Structure 1
């Protein structure tokens, strides 16, 4: 008797449960073609793979909203701007936007600080042909230091571990692993304890940083509560790092595997913004986002009951051939004429969500990856893997766990 091949849904459920899948994109393609919205009993969620359906779930705020509790949610942080909607979301998100989406800041103070940090980290990389642990030496410490400085959390010696434990206990913990969740809870408690005196100081003597903004701004005539400040600060610590870190790992890995694309960038450095947008499409570092139906709804031919969870598979949507021609090809020039819109709500890229919940930190992530890439392109003629090529891992957050490269100045 011939064994029946597993369905795309069964393969994806196994992948979500931890099965090693070196390339999930063929599974996404099959599921997107067969059923772009399908119920998964093991995940207790609707899996959404089509670009049109993912986009509607982000933009139709009257029908679909943030998931605030349960497995795979961001409840570990408490109530943050991620869980808000309407006027409250717009006005409180603006607190963050004026610090990390302000074009003047991005061209001025933030750019200068990130450039200096990239240079300092780059100085520690080999000046002669040699092996470097790029993730430990550049891709993680760069965004980690930037967001920690913005929230003044760099003053806390434990902030790198807090970040690691919080990120692990959030949306990537779709199976609600109790040990992972417990570490996240412990990290939140430690962050809250550290923030108590920090909030008091910032209220009395605010500085030029995001934590001071949160401590002094008013909404409807009242300042944010200490609880709300703590929740959002914890969320920014984790969310401000994952995309940049993993995008850089995925971009560098892609360029090593496709050396002709590295040569294109060296010959035309103005393509760097396009390359950043392309890797966010081709290998989205954040592969999924969770939502819930606010009312009974129909999406992609499926009938969804109010309260049911949806997992929007951004990695699948970003390879939908109806929107992105030749979607499996890594092309650093794909967005040569329209890179900037991909980091805003108007672009088709779904790496940063969509609608009013488009990630507030998208422009900051763009700047960090661009400056890091410009530094590497200027300094090194060629990159190659040091040993066996790394294998990507992760369902909701995906990249190689580490990246050791041989750098050739």
Structure 2
């Protein structure tokens, strides 16, 4: 008797060890599957995930229970005019020229300081010494907050990401996230009020002063955006740097190509966002019944979009299981826009507002790392395993190198 094929469980240890094999099975046999424990539909094909990010029938109302308890109400759960207004209030600070001119020195200084601390050693855990620190330090400094608070913000970042990644509902992790929210609010609100009275040239002052048609953000909205920036901006860049370096070291010929031609760094970053994205799943909620591959999703049901699966869909990409910096079916000219081919930053109206910040950080960081290290290799000889389900990257990246 032939055994009945069962869909992979995205909360199982087997899935956590190797989601990519499960992704193939889901795309081919179970493109739409109900996960009872999480009370969500799971979708995995590129065309379905792309539609969930672009079609207005898919709302972000799920963030009311997913994000609001730890961040407060953020731009991610806004729709229509409210969303467009708030996005217009924050977006100018994250556009290319303004970003590089105002915050370029801060970004370069933070990267250089971290690299200088280990460049002579010949070995490093890139996660602990650099990747998980760099974007958080940058955000603290962009906001104009004391550099002595870098470690405090790193601890808050770790706690909030634990809350957001807690798909199994561990009560201790939830409680820690809620304590962090209260601590972050107690820290930020007085500083926001102080910047309203005494503005400077930092991002926090810019957010306080931003106004469109007489509308501006409240203290609570600015605090929530800063909390979101800490995690969304931190996690994406943290895991992207780790995965990008791991991907390149695992493909020495491509690492050599990027070392010789630094203009390939954005292409390498874009391919990492496709092949091993920092965020593997994002949720949406349709406002009316919608038909996808494999069936119909009822109005109001949560849909978990598997970015890690969609980005390796052979229906969309040639040789999707191959890491290729020079991939022809990934348009690098729009890889960091709302029209990107990969799905790592979402698409459409909720495209990541910090995508260009992440790109700039990656360009600065990778140049600094490649300048400091030659003959980069994995300590022990083998690529490290990825960890995580909601977000995913190597938990440690032990490298040996020749200082340069």
Q: Give the equivalent residue in structure 1 for 2:127.
A: 135
Q: Give the equivalent residue in structure 2 for 1:87.
A: 81
Q: 2:312 and 2:145 mapped to 1: Cα distance?
A: 37
Q: Give the equivalent residue in structure 2 for 1:230.
A: 223
Does the 8 Å contact 2:338/2:349 carry over to 1? yes
TM-score, L = length of structure 1: 0.91
Does residue 383 (structure 1) correspond to residue 376 (structure 2)? The answer is yes
C-alpha deviation, 1:234, in angstroms: 1.1
Q: Give the equivalent residue in structure 2 for 1:322.
A: 315
Does residue 241 (structure 1) correspond to residue 260 (structure 2)? The answer is no
Q: 2:329 and 2:366 mapped to 1: Cα distance?
A: 16
Structure 1 residue runs without a partner (length 5+): none
Matches within 5 A, 1:277-356: 277-334=270-327, 338-356=331-349
Does the 8 Å contact 1:292/1:308 carry over to 2? yes
CA 1:17–1:182 in structure 2 vs 1: closer, same or farther (change >3 Å)?
farther
C-alpha deviation, 1:116, in angstroms: 2.3
Q: Give the equivalent residue in structure 2 for 1:97.
A: 91
- Give structure 1 regions of 4+ aligned residues with deviation exceeding 6 angstroms: none
Does residue 41 (structure 1) correspond to residue 36 (structure 2)? The answer is yes
C-alpha deviation, 1:17, in angstroms: 4.1
Equivalent of 1:25, from 17, 20, 25? 20
CA 1:6–1:126 in structure 2 vs 1: closer, same or farther (change >3 Å)?
farther
Does residue 359 (structure 1) correspond to residue 385 (structure 2)? The answer is no
TM-score, L = length of structure 2: 0.92
Q: 1:338 and 1:278 mapped to 2: Cα distance?
A: 10
What are the superposed Cα offsets for residues 157-200 of structure 1, whole Å, 9 maximum, x if unpaired?
A: 62111111011112x22222111111110011001111121021
C-alpha deviation, 1:46, in angstroms: 0.8
C-alpha deviation, 1:382, in angstroms: 1.6
Q: 1:299 and 1:122 mapped to 2: Cα distance?
A: 47
Does the 8 Å contact 1:274/1:336 carry over to 2? no
Aligned-pair Cα RMSD in Å = 2.2
Q: 1:177 and 1:32 mapped to 2: Cα distance?
A: 29
- Give the number of aligned pairs: 400
CA 1:113–1:206 in structure 2 vs 1: closer, same or farther (change >3 Å)?
same
Does the 8 Å contact 1:288/1:315 carry over to 2? yes
CA 1:18–1:213 in structure 2 vs 1: closer, same or farther (change >3 Å)?
farther
Matches within 5 A, 1:90-169: 90-100=84-94, 102-127=95-120, 130-154=122-146, 156=149, 158-169=152-163
Identify the range of structure 1 (116-125 vs 309-318) with the bigger mean alpha-carbon deviation.
116-125
Does the 8 Å contact 1:153/1:159 carry over to 2? no
Q: 1:382 and 1:161 mapped to 2: Cα distance?
A: 33
Equivalent of 1:251, from 234, 241, 244? 244
Identify the range of structure 1 (283-292 vs 338-347) with the bigger mean alpha-carbon deviation.
338-347
